[in-house]
Amino acid sequence: MSKTLARHLNLSGASNFRDLGGYVTHDGRTVRWRQIFRSNHLAHLTEQDIAIVRGLGVKSAFDFRGVAERAEALCGMTDVTVHSLPVEPTVVAALRAIAETRPLSKDDAVDVMRDSYRGYVQDNTERYRTLFAHLLEDRAPLVIHCTAGKDRTGFACALILHALGVPDEVIADDYLLTNQFYKRDTSATSELPDHVRQVLGTVQAAFLDAAFEAIDDDYGSLDGYFHDGLGLGQAERKALEGRYLQA
């Protein structure tokens, strides 16, 4: 029987730092604990946080932040190899454009978030393909993150769990755990109204659904996306399962 460990690690300088392990797949295997973690950015880790992350054996970080985002808040662990996979943010610029013509609503925020998730598929598949190439090569425990660790990271983690054969409803529940563990930075200044920022500070099933709708539209199916978009044929899928699943 798989050992049950803490999924969420309550770090002082990072929120939403979670383990993807412990989920049972369709065929009864289990995602290995303490191999793949997800988080918001790692620039504000305390010394105690760093000791915890080092204790987990994390050697690599896969950073989906855009170029400017990353430059403003570099990883706080010099002994972690950072792989930059920049997915440039689009949400705030899109909302500002709308705000020039009329007041923003919550629905505007949801629509823009859904568009950004479609963009992960339509404009940034190469970044996610690179992630999976690394997952097939890198045996060390690793962490995947962006700025908030909820959207670009959330899509990446959903793809990983799908590739490993975790059921849809479990993946959806894991994605929504962000609403329990992510702490929005209330000190960050923004001209956006609070009801819009509240939407941006959460995840909704409708956001992730938009990405998978784009996958169906552009690739015909999730299997088609894995094969043609992410370079995961049957051999690669089996190798991924061998690395990150246990009986």
Cβ 72 vs Cβ 92: under 8 Å: no
Chain-centroid distance of CA 175 in Å reads 9
| Residue 139: per-residue pLDDT | 74
Cβ 70 vs Cβ 84: under 8 Å: yes
Q: For the residues 145-167, what does the mean pLDDT come to?
A: 97
Q: Is the pLDDT of residue 96 over 70?
A: yes
Q: Is the pLDDT of residue 23 over 60?
A: yes
* Phi, psi of 139, rounded to the nearest 5 degrees: -90, -15
Chain-centroid distance of CA 12 in Å reads 20
Residues contacting residue 126 through CB under 8 Å, at least 6 positions apart:
none
| Residue 4: per-residue pLDDT | 73
SS3 150: coil
Q: What is the pLDDT of residues 99-153, one digit of tens each?
A: 999 999 999 999 999 999 999 999 999 999 999 999 999 778 999 999 999 999 9
Global pTM reads: 0.95
| Residue 189: per-residue pLDDT | 55
Q: For the residues 201-210, what does the mean pLDDT come to?
A: 97
Residues contacting residue 113 through CB under 8 Å, at least 6 positions apart:
91, 151, 199, 200, 204, 207, 210
Q: What is the pLDDT of residues 44-59, one digit of tens each?
A: 999 999 999 999 999 9
